[in-house]
Amino acid sequence: MGIIKRLGLDFSWLKKLFKKKTQKIGIYGPPNAGKTTLANRIVRDWTGDAMGSVSHIPHETRRARRREDVTIVSNGSSVTLDIIDTPGIATKIDFHDFMTFGLPEEESKRRAKEATEGVMESVKWLEDLDGVILVMDATEDPYTQVNVVIIGNFEARKLPILIAANKIDLPNSSPARIHSAFPQHPLVPISALEGKNIDLLYKEIAEHFG
């Protein structure tokens, strides 16, 4: 590839010829970054359905969900994707944290157990994907271990990464901070909740995964 690049040869047509018809794209990120809110918006905009429920309590999504054949058309480009909304990846899950949201102890313990299974499921899905939309909370520090691990995994396998810097509707959001942390990947500042910049995201999805 290095030599080919140096010689200025373009084999992108060949790549397109052998590319799979449908790309499996995972929506990943830490808990509460807005993954399901974004998945709901994408699936609703292009199919009219929804993916799953959302909540302010972390680990609301505890099972990965796949929506097949979502065709996104933008700026003359079109791409058909299988969208996989995944449970948030974490390195620790303490049931006491759920109790601070007012959940009873038993329910908190059950949620913690299901959340650990959800994280394992997310990790397993990593091996089956063709690309990732990494959702980061733009109000938070971007250097979390979860972000580092997800990016590292996809970089190691040379698969495309698109960063959605979410929650730009909040006053303390800073997509620039995310960009300076991971400048090697394309980034779109969005509000999945309000739909801000969502057309820009579709344009990037069509270009990046198409």
Partner 1 sequence: MDLISEEKLDGMTSMEKVRLILDEVRNGKILILEKGLTPSEQTKLIELTMAEIEPDDFAGIEIESYPVKQNDNFLNKLFGKTTLKTRLTVIGPASQLKTIRKDRDLISALVSP
Which residues contact partner 1 (rule: CB under 8 A)?
1-5, 89-95, 109, 112, 116-117, 119-120, 123-124, 126, 141, 143-145, 148-149, 151-153, 155-156, 158, 181-182
Residue 61 and residue 36 in contact, taking contact as beta carbons nearer than 8 Å = yes
Q: Minimum distance from CB of 85 to partner 1 (Å)?
A: 19
Q: Minimum distance from CB of 2 to partner 1 (Å)?
A: 3
Instruction: Give the C-alpha separation, 125 to 64, whole Å.
Output: 8
Sign, CA torsion 184/189/192/198:
negative
Residue with tokens 């199919």: 47
Q: Which is nearer to partner 1, 93 or 136 (CB)?
A: 93
Q: Minimum distance from CB of 94 to partner 1 (Å)?
A: 4
Instruction: Give the C-alpha separation, 43 to 66, whole Å.
Output: 10
Q: Which is nearer to partner 1, 5 or 21 (CB)?
A: 5
Residue 26 and residue 132 in contact, taking contact as beta carbons nearer than 8 Å = yes
Q: Minimum distance from CB of 202 to partner 1 (Å)?
A: 28
Three-class SS of residue 27?
Answer: strand
Q: Which is nearer to partner 1, 19 or 157 (CB)?
A: 157
